[in-house]
Chains A and B, each alone.
Chain A
Amino acid sequence: MTEAFTCSGIAVVARPDRFAEVCQALGELSGVQVHAQDPPSGRIVVTQVAPTTTEQADGLRRIQQIPGVLAADLVYHVCETPAGPAGE
């Protein structure tokens, strides 16, 4: 059996004075990878992998609670499994 797998792309906005610190904290979260950084606008592109959508939403809240994060929003969410659609 293949494991349940969902992946989301998240736009993070960090306070410019805490940008590096936020990037580092993001990189330390399980399932999260930092892909692109744009310090002038404070924006960071991350992906988050989690078994279920519920865990994705909880994970987003975890990102929002990092000190220095002003906003973290979902951009793209894939909720299929490698073998086919997720679900029951």
Chain B
Amino acid sequence: MSCELSRREFVIASVAAATAAALRLPAYGETTEPVEGATWEKGVCRFCGVGCGVLIGVRDGRLVAVKGDPDNPVNRGLLCAKGYANAEIHYGADRLTKPLLRMENGRWDPNGKFRPVAWERAFAEMERQFKKTYAELGPTGIAIMGSGQYTIPEGYAAVKLLKAGWRSNNIDPNARHCMASAVAAFIQTFGIDEPAGCYDDIELADTIVTWGANMAEMHPILWSRVVAHRMAHENVRVINLTTYTNRTSDAADVEIVIKPQSDLAIWNYIAREIIRRDAVDRAFVERHCVFATGPTDIGYGMRGDLKRAFEDERDTLERERRVRLTREEAIAQRLDPDDPPVVEQKHRGSAGAHWMITFEQLREALEPYTLEFVAELARGDAEESLEDFKKKLELLADHYADAARKVVSFWTMGFNQHTRGTWVNEQAYMVHLLTGKYARPGCNAFSLTGQPSACGTAREVGTFAHRLPADMVVANPKHRQRTEAVWRLPEKTLNPKVGSHITKMMRDIEDGTIRWLWVQVTNPFQSTANANHWLHAARERDVFIVVSDVYPTLSCKVADLILPSAMHWEKWGLYGNTERRTQAWRQVVDPPGEARSDVWQILEFSKRFRLREVWGRQPVPGLEAPGFESGVLPDVLEQARALGYDPDATLYDVLFATEAARAHAWPDPVARGRKNCTVEAAGLDWFPEKALFQEYVQFGRGHHHDLADFDVYFRDDVHGLRWPVIDGKETRWRFNGEYDPLVSKDTPFEFYGPALKAIPRGTLDGPTSPEKVPLPGKARSSSGPTPRRRSRRTGNTTSGCAPAGCSSTGTAAR
């Protein structure tokens, strides 16, 4: 016992010393390693999108210690409460360690009990079910639900198997739920996904404003950086806009409690003030921005018809389809406030159909958003006097309008899961662009992510129903062509018809049009809205559901087959965080029992498909694309032969174990003796994770998404790199010529994102000509101005518009 006590005292004293040393506090005690005999490996935390560097301690094949990586610039040695779980998450008593199949009398039975089976038996059933559905329904009958927690190689392997192998676009991540609005606003405004700036902006800002982001609790490490910056600089101010008092308010100089949804009106008030005070950065705006707006009658997210509605949902659905404006909405849209109209939501399917407006029209659009109007609408604390609340709004506008203050706006799900999430993201860009406070050190409008690789995998790799790697999309023939070239596919292998997004997949299961589903690295039957529908559908419809996971979840409960996966430190991986930083880790411990990496599962399953089973003529209902027969994907087997492929070759041979892939030999010096469970389970002499990554980087290089080579991310002196990585150097501020080598030489700023870079001209009432005007290098933003749901003004009752954005040039004002 005394020995145990002294051991404890030793651990406590050495942890204290190590902690003080990590904080670079004056020397404190002796810095002895608290864990004797452990080896350490660097990596990244998996529990949110911040991307904190972690050092994990391993001894005797077991994770025994976790510390923040003091050399990682993201977290500088700190971790939050979630960081504790880095080791323990691997060791829960209910870890899944064997494939489990619902069986009765030795056979698969949808109503059977879960029984452990061998991997061979599991894959055989999975294959049988897949092929039955594929023969009946073709590529649209099968689907993968993916994740913002996919490692880059996992997401890339999944998307390649599904899009190139099975010729389906039914892959979509849980990240759709949280980030769709953020992505839409990035693409609409800048033509490219992901933020211009980075976390360095925190220490360079004069004002930091949180909008619907309780950073103190949700992104504590970034918050610690905000707090440290505030404490070290007398002039720095922190403003927390929130619907309730939370821990973020504790360190804020100003707390502004608002009514839910009133943030849209507040942004419009700020924009109006900026224009009224003549605080627009005209040089920036005129050179780099245009203003745009879009339809307001864009509806909401539920199904457009009542066929599957539960009785008590019918009224909600009706209200979504025909919206009676409030008095405030009528004022905002300059309609008669005493007789607000009912508006049929006619643009449900075309919310992004934007058009250009003039600065004068923007000013006109913002006119209703006076201090009085917005304060009445937005005040969230009934105890606070209207006059006090107005003072706060004016102060907020002062910070954005003051040309001498650098401002960072942070937001999370308060914006992104808003019923008008895309608009409110766009509005933030509008205000930052109007004042030239974007893509400059210390100036940023920043959507914080919740998952570790929602950015790096889901969005950048493109594990979405409409996407391909590096912001490309399946509907664009040039993008398909480029992808087919990198993947060495016959022309027209890729399916041009956008697949089902994750919510639609659930609906398709309910409708019986998806009958085979593989869930990877996510728990969608827990987390998808209206889960009561999907849980019923999963159990009652004719659908075979496979769930790969590490623990039994609600999704496992409704599955037919559960596959045990390797957890974080049991496999090799790379993640991309919210500030475009790609980070990597090595496998340090073995997965338990028969658990296997997701990469192994995808590769192994691909061996069960021969080209002739999937690359023949395939039905795709509703497919209409130039060069394609209606509703049909062509037989590409002849072309495949011409490329040197045998129709009896497997998808594994053609997509994964290619000559280029096998050139990445295992063992590899980058492993430094660490193991690879994928390699071991498959008995390989090559390195799948590295091969997949090295193939993937070909998409981004030369296309604004440049990544470094795989090995670089494992170097001791590299703690992630922020893309684009050009000539080995990361980029901290994109679009800014001083920092971003991709900006043309003759301009201080260039918003070079290529997507949606031509829109028609119009007025506040709608587009005036179908002709699209190209906008190379420009930023644009369109925002949904009004109080709750609709944006501004309408010339008639069926379409309105939202105010728009601009861009900036970098000079004079500061």
Contacts and interface: CB of A to CB of B under 8 A. Distances in A.
Interface of A: 2-3, 5, 7-11, 13, 16, 33, 35-36, 38, 41-43, 45-47, 49, 52-54, 56-57, 60-61, 64, 70-71, 73-80, 82-88
B231 A13 contact: yes
Contacts of B64: 78-80, 85-86
Contact of B81 (A35, A38, A61, A80): A61
A49 B228 CA distance: 26
Contacts of B80: 60, 73-74
Nearest to A38: B25
B628 interface: no
A80 B91 CA distance: 12
B228 A10 contact: no
Contacts of A71: 216, 220, 223-224, 227, 251
Nearest to A71: B224
The 7 A-B pairs with the shortest beta carbon distances in the complex, nearest first, are A9-B19, A35-B16, A73-B78, A53-B88, A80-B64, A74-B79, A9-B15
23 contacts: A5-B8, A9-B16, A9-B19, A13-B228, A16-B231, A35-B19, A36-B20, A45-B16, A47-B15, A52-B88, A71-B251, A73-B220, A74-B68, A74-B80, A74-B81, A76-B65, A77-B84, A78-B57, A79-B65, A79-B66, A80-B59, A85-B60, A87-B62
A57 B60 CA distance: 25
B219 to A, nearest CB: 11
A55 B419 CA distance: 37
A30 B250 CA distance: 24
Contact of B18 (A42, A76, A88): A76
Interface in B220-239: 220-221, 223-224, 227-228, 231
B84 A36 contact: no
Interface string B65-85: 111100000000111111111
Contact of B84 (A49, A56, A83): A56
Contacts of B85: 53, 57
Most interface-central of B19, B60, B247, B250 (chain A CB within 10 A)? B19
Nearest to A58: B81
Given A49-B12, A73-B221, A87-B91, 10 more contacts: A8-B84, A9-B16, A33-B16, A36-B26, A45-B19, A78-B57, A79-B64, A80-B64, A82-B3, A88-B93
A60 B776 CA distance: 50
B667 interface: no
Contacts of B88: 52-54, 79, 86
A22 B797 CA distance: 59
Interface in B301-341: none
Given A33-B12, A35-B20, A53-B88, A76 B231 contact: no
Contacts of B34: 7, 76, 78
Given A74-B83, A80-B64, A82-B7, A9 B18 contact: yes
B227 A13 contact: yes
A27 to B, nearest CB: 14
A75 B77 contact: yes
B20 to A, nearest CB: 5
B386 interface: no
B117 interface: no
B78 A11 contact: yes
Contacts of A61: 81
B69 to A, nearest CB: 11
For chain B, give the interface size range: 35 or more
A52 B59 CA distance: 19
A8 B15 contact: yes
A79 to B, nearest CB: 5
B11 interface: yes
B78 A74 contact: yes
A35 B29 CA distance: 10
Interface in B1-25: 3-4, 7-8, 11-12, 15-16, 18-20, 22-23, 25
A56 B28 CA distance: 23
Interface string B99-110: 000000000000
B759 interface: no
Contacts of A53: 84-85, 87-88
A76 B83 contact: no
A42 B78 contact: no
A35 B21 CA distance: 12
B35 interface: yes
B67 A75 contact: yes
Contact of B83 (A2, A52, A77): A77
Contacts of A84: 60
A35 B28 contact: yes
Contacts of A3: 4
A69 B429 CA distance: 33
Contact of A78 (B11, B22, B83, B251): B11
A87 B474 CA distance: 47
A87 B223 CA distance: 32
A76 B77 CA distance: 9
Contact of B62 (A2, A9, A85): A85
B503 to A, nearest CB: 32
B136 to A, nearest CB: 45
Contacts of B79: 73-75, 77
Contacts of A45: 16, 19-20, 23, 25, 28
B146 to A, nearest CB: 28
Contacts of A5: 8, 11
Nearest to A56: B84
Contacts of B15: 7-9, 47, 76, 78
Contacts of A9: 15-16, 18-19, 22
Contacts of B22: 9, 11, 75-76
Contacts of A54: 88
Contacts of A57: 81-82, 84-85
Contacts of A41: 228, 231
A60 B224 CA distance: 14
Contacts of A75: 18-19, 22-23, 67-68, 77-79
Contacts of A2: 4
Contacts of B91: 86-88
Contacts of B35: 78, 80
Nearest to B75: A73
Interface in B23-60: 23, 25-26, 28-29, 34-35, 57, 59-60
A47 B63 CA distance: 20
B6 to A, nearest CB: 9
Nearest to B10: A82
B216 A77 contact: no
Contact of A77 (B16, B62, B65): B65
A85 B59 contact: yes
Given A57-B84, A60-B81, A75-B79, A82 B4 contact: yes
A88 B62 CA distance: 12
Contacts of A88: 91, 93
Contact of B65 (A35, A56, A70, A80): A80
Given A7-B11, A8-B15, A85-B59, A77 B25 contact: no
Nearest to A33: B12
B231 A73 contact: no
B12 A7 contact: yes
A11 B18 CA distance: 11
A88 B228 CA distance: 39
A61 B87 CA distance: 19
Interface string B435-471: 0000000000000000000000000000000000000
A6 B757 CA distance: 55
Contacts of B60: 84-85
Contact of A43 (B11, B23, B81, B247): B23
